[in-house]
Structure 1
Amino acid sequence: MTAPTVLTIETTSLGDRSYLVHDGQVAFVVDPQRDVDRVLSLAESEAVRVTHVFETHIHNDYVTGGYALAQRTGAAYHVNAEDDVSFKRDAIRDGEVVEVSESLRVRAISTPGHTFTHLSYALEGEHPYVFTGGSLLFGSTGRPDLLGQDHAEELARLQHGSAHRLVKELDGSTEVMPTHGFGSFCSATQTEGDESTLAKEQETNPALLKDVEEFVRETLDGLDLYPAYYAHMGPANAAGPSEPDLELPSRADKEVLRERLTAGEWVVDLRTRQAFSAGHVPGTYNFGLDGQFSTWLGWMIPWGTPVTLLGESEEQVAEAQRELVRIGIDELAGQATGEPRDWTDGELGTITTATFADLAQVRHHREVSVLDVRNPKEHEESHVAGAVNIPLGQLPQRLDEAPQGEVWVHCASGYRSSIGASFLAAHGRQVVALDDDFDEQAGKVGLPLEGSAAS
């Protein structure tokens, strides 16, 4: 029998993957993202027809495209019968088999842990695959705390059991195809590698190497913050989200931009942190498209605040818009393209950038405050002595806790520090943005470090 064709659709900014699987004629899709035009384009290029869509769980980190894709294609939309949803779906349960075609036979396997109703899908046959969603990941598992701390321990125990069920019921050669784990905050820990099998996972995955008590303890102890916008994803997905409108929003001129900034709306500069620091419209925030743009914007913005995008080109704005609809930010107030002189007649703002060596040198001569915008677990492991830790995602709510006077802002590599520095600068603070690698440089230049890794 001919091997199935399994194609991966990467969404690197969210750390997720979707899958299109076909036999040369018909295809099924697992966990599609909101912008389903990517799936449809891939299916067209493969000359196949999408007949089935499978959802592993009600996602917490993005708005699904499953319902919209099924509506567009007429495909059967398989969602766990136990999930409370407000749309018509093809309810599926543990153990049920869907014959997509003669060579594509998919079996649902209950794998609770990331959520209570999580399903994995085993593609049976001579070339087996298992699509594990947020269950078994590469060297890790999906985090168990997204439904609240009250359920975290129970779900961690279920996650351990689900991992063992997969290796017990499926052949070791089965290729593991997770949705999460490539930088996604849905992963309990950092994932390892780019491909795997169940046999390989038995050699490396903590869920399969540790007993349940040790796994639960280490998993819960290792959990860090996750984006605030996750709270809005479950309800959106349970409602059956529509296909997004990706037509560019209206253009905003200089006067409109000034009015929006004065009104407290978010005007977001999509350029790189280097370009932003060299010159920007005062009051704007820098969320560069060269990093996890939508994750951090979605985490920080008060939900429902109007957003205007500033980009070098319409293509850049369109990319940002696509990123935002994936997390349910559909309505943009406007956009403008070009460079800062096209966006204001006033004086441009700049942000001084520096390295950890610069910080060490300055500290020999005068006192400066250091703001660490990394997440708590990162800070606990190692940090500059005396640094104040306010995680970037919490900075809007904790602005009053930021040090006064000259503030040197740092993260792990520079992306988050630029966002934090732009936010502080927009609120009248004097900032220096550290554009440097913390792990590689901070300990080498004479800065005193504290934390579990520094002791």
Structure 2
Amino acid sequence: MTTTATTTPTVLTIETSSLGDRSYLVHDGQVALVIDPQRDIDRVLALARQEGVRVTHVFETHIHNDYVTGGYALARETGAAYHVNADDDVSFDRVPVRDGDVVEVSDILRLRAVHTPGHTFTHLSYALEGDHPYVFTGGSLLFGSTGRPDLLGEEHTEELARLQHRSAHRLAGELPEAAQVMPTHGFGSFCSATQTEGDASTIGKEQEKNPALLLTVEEFVRQTLDGLDLYPAYYARMQPANVAGPDAPRLDPPGRADKDELRRRIEAGDWVVDLRTRTAFSAGHLPGSFSFGLDGQFSTWLGWMLPAGVTVTLLAGSAEDVAEAQRELSRIGVDDLAGAATGGPADWTAGEPATLPLATFADLAQVRHHRPVSVLDVRNPKEHADGHLEGAVNVPLGQLVDRLDEVPEGEVWVHCASGYRATIGASVLQAAGRDVVAVDDSFEENAGSAGVPLVEAPEEG
């Protein structure tokens, strides 16, 4: 496919909804640049082929904390120039870029680097200048929010929050109100300081709604620090992987695991992960397996909870689901799967499948009238503090494996905000021999009306 150069840039989004991130391919009809590519670069290459363009430049806004970058591998595959902040201490050759540098990719693709520290100290945004302005803000200015400032350690958090406020004001001051804001994070990513708003925005719209542009620096810092919650433990492994120059993932199908192999893996303490929906898992599953449905933030939670050195075997209804899970795990550096099996519980165990009871908050209210049960809230601490069931024990899901001894004895009802995390937590407890029920229900919509006593968050002021 041959195309001709255009006078208007084409900006295409490559969504990675499982991690809450976006990458971008920008082209003029002939050549293209890529911003913050995910590790599975075949998606980028396929999109470039579809558009009939050649990737000549790759840009990183920062050394990412929530995924393994595909920038290094993409640049090597395409021969593109790889632009990384000159002050980032990386172990590979790159084209160093600094604040104010302008990279002329083509006549209409002219990118200016803007130093926007806050998410990291060396963070860069890239302004696409011309009649159709865009700014690729990475983890700086998000939709109604900003990137979180605490990923480099508690000792840097307040300083980075102050820098984030200053960076947001710099972008708003230097760019036209019509400039399209194109962040990398904020669509469910734990790299966002708070929940983002909407699916598109401009500098002008951010000036109307973004706390970083509406609050004083002291107000912004206090609000940001008060709102920070836990983030995935695997983030600690991403920065070292990214400064080393990661290769593209290996996505060959894992070996097949039969019933005997699955039993041996569970007995050895390895993780056998069921990718089906929680409803399917509840109805019947391999005893000792864990529920991490592909219909939720599968890789985030598995990566967060997986103990170091423990191998993973996948169970799914189809080979396509195994391939999707393998791709997702590769994005966070989990490459070496021990095996996989498809089908259903009858294909995975010679014995009787296990079941996991699912219930509602109304069921919990009723059962408490008949017998004593404990309640485990696996939401994160800020969620719990904003309102929780009276008497509930809070052990965040990401920490559950290391804090099993804090779970009350006897029958335990596990809940979260909607049911996804609750089922993961309940499956972990069940595999450990506990008597559990997973609450598959909306906390916000139904907990209060179900008749279960609530403890509300104290009013401010």
* Smaller-chain TM-score bracket: over 0.9
**C-alpha separation between the residues in 2 aligned to 1:414 and 1:304?**
28
Q: Is residue 211 from structure 1 mapped to residue 216 from structure 2 by the alignment?
A: yes
Q: Which residue of 2 aligns with 1:104?
A: 109
Q: Which residue of 1 aligns with 2:331?
A: 326
Matched AA of 1:321: Q
Q: CA deviation at 1:367?
A: 1.5
**C-alpha separation between the residues in 2 aligned to 1:281 and 1:296?**
20
**C-alpha separation between the residues in 2 aligned to 1:391 and 1:128?**
42
Q: Give CA deviations for 1:133-171 in whole Å, capped at 9, x if unaligned.
A: 000000000000000110000000000000000011111
Normalization by structure 2: what TM-score? 0.98
Q: Which residue of 1 aligns with 2:438?
A: 433
Q: Is residue 256 from structure 1 mapped to residue 241 from structure 2 by the alignment?
A: no
Gaps (5+ residues) in structure 2? 1-5
Q: Which residue of 1 aligns with 2:164?
A: 159
Superposed, which structure 2 residues align to 1:217-256 within 5 Å?
Answer: 217-256=222-261
1:421 is aligned, of 422, 426, 435, to: 426
Contact kept in structure 2, 1:379 and 1:451, CA below 8 Å: no
Question: SS at the partner of 2:159?
Answer: helix
Q: Which residue of 2 aligns with 1:346?
A: 351
Q: CA deviation at 1:453?
A: 6.2
Distance verdict in 2 for CA 1:454–1:292, change over 3 Å: farther
**C-alpha separation between the residues in 2 aligned to 1:143 and 1:177?**
17
Contact kept in structure 2, 1:31 and 1:64, CA below 8 Å: yes
**C-alpha separation between the residues in 1 aligned to 2:318 and 2:353?**
20
Matched AA of 1:220: L
Question: SS at the partner of 2:105?
Answer: strand
Contact kept in structure 2, 1:268 and 1:307, CA below 8 Å: yes
Q: CA deviation at 1:451?
A: 3.1
Matched AA of 1:335: A
**C-alpha separation between the residues in 2 aligned to 1:454 and 1:140?**
23
Superposed, which structure 2 residues align to 1:40-439 within 5 Å?
Answer: 40-439=45-444
**C-alpha separation between the residues in 1 aligned to 2:150 and 2:184?**
17
Matched AA of 2:343: G
Matched AA of 2:84: V
**C-alpha separation between the residues in 2 aligned to 1:17 and 1:116?**
21
Q: Give CA deviations for 1:189-238 in whole Å, capped at 9, x if unaligned.
A: 00000000001000000000000001001100100000000000000000
**C-alpha separation between the residues in 1 aligned to 2:252 and 2:190?**
29
**C-alpha separation between the residues in 1 aligned to 2:213 and 2:337?**
45
**C-alpha separation between the residues in 1 aligned to 2:67 and 2:155?**
23
Contact kept in structure 2, 1:381 and 1:454, CA below 8 Å: no
Contact kept in structure 2, 1:80 and 1:92, CA below 8 Å: yes
**C-alpha separation between the residues in 1 aligned to 2:309 and 2:342?**
23
Q: Which residue of 1 aligns with 2:14?
A: 9
Q: Which residue of 2 aligns with 1:447?
A: 452
Q: Give CA deviations for 1:117-140 in whole Å, capped at 9, x if unaligned.
A: 000000000000000000000000
Q: CA deviation at 1:364?
A: 1.8
Matched AA of 2:17: T
Q: CA deviation at 1:270?
A: 0.4
**C-alpha separation between the residues in 2 aligned to 1:7 and 1:342?**
42
Gaps (5+ residues) in structure 1? none
Question: SS at the partner of 1:9?
Answer: strand
Q: CA deviation at 1:347?
A: 1.6
Contact kept in structure 2, 1:134 and 1:180, CA below 8 Å: yes
Q: Give CA deviations for 1:342-375 in whole Å, capped at 9, x if unaligned.
A: 0110121101110000001111222210000000
